Amino acid sequence: MTTRTFFVGGNHKCNGNKASIKALVSELNKVESKSNVEIIIAPPSIYLDYTQSLVDSGKIQLSAQNCYSETKGAFTGEIAAEMVKDLNINWVIIGHSERRSIFGESGELLAKKTKHAIDIGLKVIFCIGEQLADRQSSKTEAVLSAQLGDLKSLDKKQWDSIVIAYEPVWAIGTGVTATPDQAQDTHKYVRSWLKDNIDETVAAKTSIMYGGSVGAANCNALAEKPDVDGFLVGGASLIATDFSTIIKSASPKTI
């Protein structure tokens, strides 16, 4: 019997500086996690190299918050997946709701980014999630199906390099979170979508993280759910005590 890897990711977004990162990492380096639990933090790209120099690489991995779909060129302000790889960083977040809604990134672009990142050896945390209006009008599954459908062109082997992060947009940074049962129901749907549209083995093996106002107070109840395989944490990932509590709540599921 094996277990799906439980991922605890900290997305720092546009927050932090050298002093705060140093203080945070010094505390996180002390945290002991369970077997088959991966801890990943994503500082702003300008601090990736600095953070890499501080983390205990045996415990903590780094992720870029974004990357572009091209190797190089006249793309001011972008970073290439190859640049991320050049820093010996193995992860990138793609499709976060803020990239979709604020920066207007299309499903087509996100699929292109994902394929390119995997092709050059990165692993991808691929974010999906619905707006409040979608949830209220019972369109959650339709929205997630469309977002996941952007990845249908990937082959089954490429799915070995993908972790899904379900983040209800109405719960990101609002203090409102999906209930454990709401999270479980949606994660169960995502897994069924993978089974029906990609492959049964992919569905069983793929870890599905939950994001959306995850904190020290609700992480244990969420982590117990059978299809919740981790967390993508925003604000609480900047607070060492809270993020440490979330790491300790990890509960890898047997498959």
Q: Flag whether 184 is in a domain.
A: yes
Inter-residue contact 31 to 237 (CB < 8 Å): no
Return the pLDDT at 1. 76
Return the pLDDT at 219. 97
Mean pLDDT of the chain: 96
pLDDT band for 128, please (50, 70, 90 cuts): very high
Number of helical (H) and strand (E) elements in the chain, helices listed first: 11, 8
Average pLDDT over residues 64-72: 98
Q: What is the pLDDT of residues 221-252, one digit of tens each?
A: 999 999 999 999 999 999 999 999 999 999 99
Q: What is the pLDDT of residues 7-23, one digit of tens each?
A: 999 999 999 999 999 99
Q: Flag whether 1 is in a domain.
A: no
Q: What is the CATH number of the domain that holds 98?
A: 3.20.20.70
Q: Flag whether 204 is in a domain.
A: yes
Reply yes or no on whether 96 is catalytic.
yes
Return the pLDDT at 178. 86
Whose tokens are 């940074």? That residue is 173
Return the pLDDT at 206. 98
Catalytic member of 12, 38, 96, 98 = 96
Percentage of residues in the chain having pLDDT higher than 90: 94
| Alpha-carbon gap, residue 185 to 166, rounded angstroms | 11
Reply yes or no on whether 167 is catalytic.
yes
pLDDT at 176 over 80: no
Percentage of residues in the chain having pLDDT higher than 70: 100
Return the pLDDT at 175. 77
Q: Flag whether 255 is in a domain.
A: no
Return the pLDDT at 217. 95
Q: What is the pLDDT of residues 178-214, one digit of tens each?
A: 899 999 999 999 999 999 999 999 999 999 999 988 9
Q: Flag whether 51 is in a domain.
A: yes
| Alpha-carbon gap, residue 121 to 81, rounded angstroms | 9
Q: Of 174, 178, 173, which is closest to residue 188 (Cα–Cα)? A: 178
Number of domains in the chain: 1
Return the pLDDT at 227. 98
Return the pLDDT at 157. 95
Domain with 209, as residue range(s), is: 6-248
Q: What is the pLDDT of residues 134-168, one digit of tens each?
A: 998 999 999 999 999 999 999 999 999 999 999 99
Return the pLDDT at 177. 77
Catalytic member of 38, 105, 130, 167 = 167
Q: Flag whether 235 is in a domain.
A: yes
Q: Flag whether 54 is in a domain.
A: yes
Inter-residue contact 181 to 222 (CB < 8 Å): no
Return the pLDDT at 188. 98
Core vs surface per residue 118-156: b (16+ CB within 10 A) or e: beeebbbbbbbbbbeebbeeeebbebbbebbebbeebee
Q: Flag whether 253 is in a domain.
A: no
Q: Of 222, 157, 4, which is closest to residue 233 (Cα–Cα)? A: 222
